[in-house]
């Protein structure tokens, strides 16, 4: 069995989500530290251009987006479950909302001037400018509209009051009683806010939320060891992609295996990846790509939140 390799960087909220997913499952993994900003030549050699963080690599199979990474880890180790039996739709739908709406609020709050001054206080003005320019590029061209800091501040108390009430009344210690993907999809945005004293009070003011936050973070990150991006490329080059899923599914827009297509996120980080469509299922799309450095790889994308077009 191929090792789990996570391409990530320490301060990424979605990378923290993925690290917690690995910790909850009690999995061992290899860590590749990538740049927070473009270019990321070793990563994009594997993904074909997808730039968002994190990316999970298992041999020559490359998994993009934490929603799909969670489903792949569920295959790796079924229990404890991210999608509790009988609550699969509720858990997945709440997670999608948290990963988009709550995260959008967190980004606006973290990148308000007062927070940026503290968060990036040790960086040079040039480095701050380069980071903010990179993020402007990341969030351009997609469907995600930038929420103003004023609107985020205006709506944040509603989100947190609802969450506080839910946690006060919930029968168990987590959002759906038992831990699920819902907890991990929400906690990373709060973790992002708690990184500076400017935004931390937006979480700390809610006792039940703070207690829940501690419980979720308590799952930790599992056991990791570092490898280089060059070593990860070598792993991919020397591996054979896994067998395709055997799901029987009728593609609604008529795309057929063997076609050259491009797949891209629709909200932000919309850089398209071009390759041969190998599989289209209800949750997952798989492209075959060949790279002189990474060899033949299968790049996996979630169906939800991504678009596919003929190339």
pLDDT in tens, 39-80: 899 999 999 999 999 999 999 999 999 999 999 999 999 999
Going from N- to C-terminal start, the domains of the chain cover: 4-80+223-310, 88-217
Token pair in block for residue 26: 């009690």
User: Is residue 230 classed as helix, strand or coil in its secondary structure?
Assistant: helix
Average pLDDT value for residue range 11-15: 96
pLDDT value of residue 1: 58
Q: Are 81 and 74 in contact (CB under 8 A)?
A: yes
Please give the model's pTM, rounded to 2 decimal places. Answer: 0.95
pLDDT in tens, 254-282: 999 999 999 999 998 889 999 999 999 99
Q: Please list, residue by residue across 51-84, b when 16 or more beta carbons sit within 10 angstroms of its beta carbon and e when fewer do.
A: bbbbbbbbbbbbbbbbbbbbbbbbeeeeeebbbb
Q: Place 175 in a pLDDT band, splitting at 50, 70 and 90.
A: very high
Is the domain spanning 4-80+223-310 CATH 3.40.30.110? The answer is: yes
CATH code assigned to 88-217: 1.20.1050.10
């Amino acid at each position: 069995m191929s090792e789990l390799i996570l391409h990530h960087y320490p301060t990424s909220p979605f990378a923290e989500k993925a690290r917690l997913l690995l910790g909850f499952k009690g999995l061992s993994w290899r860590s590749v530290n990538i740049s927070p900003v473009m270019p990321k030549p070793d990563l994009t050699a594997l993904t074909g251009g997808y730039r968002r963080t994190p990316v999970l690599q298992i041999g020559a199979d490359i998994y993009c987006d934490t929603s799909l990474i969670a489903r792949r880890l569920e295959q790796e180790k079924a229990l404890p479950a991210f999608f509790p039996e009988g609550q699969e739709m509720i858990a997945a739908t709440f997670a999608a909302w948290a990963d988009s709406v709550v995260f959008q609020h967190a980004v606006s709050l973290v990148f308000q001037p007062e927070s940026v001054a503290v968060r990036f206080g040790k960086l040079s003005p040039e480095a701050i400018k380069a980071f903010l320019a990179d993020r402007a590029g990341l969030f351009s061209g997609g469907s995600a509209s930038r929420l103003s800091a004023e609107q985020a501040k205006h709506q944040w108390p509603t989100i947190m009051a609802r969450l506080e009430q839910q946690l006060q009344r919930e029968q168990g210690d987590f959002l759906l009683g038992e831990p699920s993907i819902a907890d991990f999809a929400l906690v990373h945005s709060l973790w992002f806010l708690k990184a500076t004293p400017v935004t931390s009070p937006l979480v700390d003011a809610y006792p039940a939320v703070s207690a829940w936050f501690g419980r979720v973070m308590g799952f930790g990150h599992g056991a990791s060891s570092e490898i280089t991006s060059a070593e990860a490329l070598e792993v991919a080059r020397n591996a054979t992609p896994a067998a395709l899923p055997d799901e029987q599914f009728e593609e609604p827009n008529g795309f057929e295996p063997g076609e050259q297509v491009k797949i891209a996120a629709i909200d932000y980080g919309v850089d398209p990846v071009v390759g041969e469509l190998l599989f289209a299922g209800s949750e997952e799309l798989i492209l075959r790509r060949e790279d002189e450095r990474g060899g033949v790889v299968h790049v996996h994308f979630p169906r939800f939140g991504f678009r596919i077009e003929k190339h």
